[in-house]
Amino acid sequence: MQISVEIPPLDSGLTEELIDFWDGIFGDGYQADRSAYAGDERDFNRDTFYLIEQGGRTVGSSHLTTAVGNPELSGLGEVATVPQCRGQGIASRLCRAARDDFLASGGQALFLGTVNPTAARIYHRLGWRKMPGSTVWALIASGESPESFLVDYFRASDEVGIEPGSPAQRVPMIPLIVTPHDWWVLDANVELYSTRYVEQNSCMGLYPRYAKLVAQGAGAWFAARTRDGRLVGLASARPDGEGACQVDGFVHGRYGEAWVNLMRAVMDWAGGRCWVRVCVEDEEKGAWLKELGFVDGGPGEPFVMGDRTVEAVRLVAGI
């Protein structure tokens, strides 16, 4: 069985077949990325689909996504094989093909996520290494550990600008989010917690959380990026249905000064009427918010993080 390579825009028939294929294996959720399969993200990401067919139907797949603005970063997803064809090395071949293309293009870090022990062994043999506090794995082209790569990648560089969130952040948000942060809660609007305290069980599924915030709730999100294009912060605003917005955001620890402008972007979008649900463990975050003009608004809904519950407070501004 030969590997075929497909690049968006995908044929409508193939799109429907792949969505059904992935929904059947991983569960519903792939309809949301239909526009990407149609090529609507070509200005932001290079998508390559590696497929194996048998009897005219797809029996195995992998999907490589490379950020146009950050070609050093890629993500691998939709690694799937139909049950009746498992154990034949199909997944290994498809992952190896994606890996080899990634390395040949000069990529530096290729991320994927898995909770499957059998798949994890395959990825380890092919060069991926598990990242602490998550089910995310990274293949680092230089051979260094993922932890060492992240330290070097986020080494403080130049000034940081704020821009609206877009598919350009689909891949770059992965290393930012899996980096251990001191704050327990990174963004309550999309249930992002620091891998220092809570295991992160998503990889390529992280971006859809922000996209859904806009698509379903008419919210907004913003990105903090260095002049050389590294994503170092994210913030979001979600209308609460009562004339205000719940806002939240975080930055990499080396870019703390960018947090104020990032939060001001979501506060301005919210028209100044906003509130934040703050974990009681995040005393620094609460202090920074008060410097921005937030005041105590009483207790907040507790955070449920895995098997633990952590109390929260509500800080408000303009309400």
In this predicted model, what pLDDT tens digit does every residue of 22-49 receive, in sequence order?
999 998 778 888 999 999 999 999 999 9
Average of per-residue pLDDT across 128-137: 97
pLDDT grade, residue 217 (50/70/90)? low
Q: Rounded to an integer, what distance in angstroms lies between the CA atom of residue 11 and that of residue 25?
A: 21
Report how far residue 153's alpha carbon sits from residue 132's, in angstroms, rounded to the nearest whole number: 17
The domain spans of the chain are 3-151, 160-317
Residue type, 296: D
Reading the block at residue 45, the tokens are 């990401």
Q: What DSSP state is assigned to residue 30? A: G
Q: For residue range 74-106, list pLDDT tens digits in order.
A: 999 999 999 999 999 999 999 999 999 999 999
CA 313 to the chain's CA centroid: 26
pLDDT at 157 over 90: no
Contact 89, 81 (CB under 8 A): no
Q: Considering only the top CATH level, what class is 160-317?
A: alpha beta
Is there a shared CATH topology between the 3-151 domain and the 160-317 domain?
yes
Average pLDDT taken over every residue of the chain? 95
b/e for 160-180, b at 16 or more Cβ within 10 A?
bebeebbbbbbbbbbbbbbbe
d(CA 185, CA 280): 10
Q: What is the pTM of this model?
A: 0.96
3-151 to CATH, choices 3.40.630.30, 3.30.43.10, 3.30.450.20, 3.40.50.150: 3.40.630.30
> Cβ neighbours of residue 188 under 8 Å, at least 6 residues apart?
246, 248, 276, 277, 303
**Could you tell me the two tokens for 115?**
């909770």
